[in-house]
Structure 1
Amino acid sequence: MQGLSLESLKKHKALIPLYVCVGIGCAGAVFYLGRLATRNPDVSWNKKSNPEPWEEYRAKQYKFYSPIRDYSKEESPAPKY
């Protein structure tokens, strides 16, 4: 197919921005999925060493962006079990 090799990309220069945008989009999606898998309090990778992983996030801010509240300075609204 045309546009899939470097030789044909030299002939069809208009495809280069398309490949760049798709590459940046794929990299952003992989980054965000990796961040969700490692930072989300709903995900627990090792239940034997940490049986209650939600307790780690009692005083942490785990939202992607929160300009209003900073949970590290005040008591968390989460109940203590």
Structure 2
Amino acid sequence: MNERGPLAADALIGYLTTCGGSDSFQHWDAKGQPDLESSRRLAERLRALLGDRLGVVASVEQSFNRVTLSLVLETAKL
């Protein structure tokens, strides 16, 4: 992984911290219809950006045309 990955992930985590720990994005196409493909691409890019921090520091969920990015508030206990 190049140095841009960790720096970009840090910036993304910093953004989530300043906006209350969660943000959602909805995608619509030019006709005003839900754009599922665009939402999927965003979710995949965010997951790749977070890398090994995914599920540990932040989570990415896609539901229909909405992508939700959230900080993980508490470590799961096994």
- Normalising by structure 1, report the TM-score: 0.29
Larger helix fraction of residues: 1
Greater RCO structure (CA 8 Å; 6+ sep):
2
Larger strand fraction of residues: 2
